[in-house]
A and B are shown apart, each in its own frame.
Chain A
């Protein structure tokens, strides 16, 4: 099993550009989520989904969009990148009583 796969690993954007961070899982988990990790802070929830076609906002959703058209995929879109969105982004999934399974992150720099 590949688990949770995130692409790209690194990305540099200019202010105002848009992009999509990809996340795919092969464990048939119904729950998927996006977090950002900043130095000295715990991971913060951006958006989450409890199943295909269902998404909801987390703690820090502004500037980000998500969609869940399939169980496997949960892309995160940055609409107009800002320097404050410089961070490491993690996608995670879980199902049943399993722990959160994380991808290896996307390191995003916005200049």
Chain B
């Protein structure tokens, strides 16, 4: 069964620190992988997209990596800010309409 797993389930860090969130997937065929940020009470918003041939992509302080061989992705957040407090969701696409969502990692950044 196509699945996306994320770890950790939740994470607490101090403002200014770095952190890395993990995503493992078993989705096949693979079209792309996106990381979304979901603020409390809002819908998810796309941060990055990775296709099969890409292994690193940055968006400001967010850097996503993809290892298509091991079916793993990570999202690294540098110099965290209070506004980074949110859930981060890994979504793997087989191609529309088949998007498989991970359960998310809840990040809390404390001052």
Contact = CB atoms under 8 A, between A and B. Distances in A.
Interface of A: 4, 31, 33, 35, 40-45, 48, 50, 56, 58, 90, 92, 94, 99-100, 102-105
Interface SS of chain B: strand
A31 B96 contact: yes
B97 A43 contact: no
Specify which of B36, B43, B44 lies most central, judged by the most chain A CB atoms within 10 Å of its CB.
Answer: B43
Most chain B CB within 10 A, of A35, A56, A99, is at: A99
Interface of B: 4, 34, 36, 41-46, 49, 89, 91, 96-97, 99-104
Given A102-B44, A104-B41, A42 B104 contact: yes
Given A42-B89, A42-B103, A99-B34, A4 B43 contact: yes
Contacts of B4: 42
Contact of A50 (B45, B96, B99, B102): B96
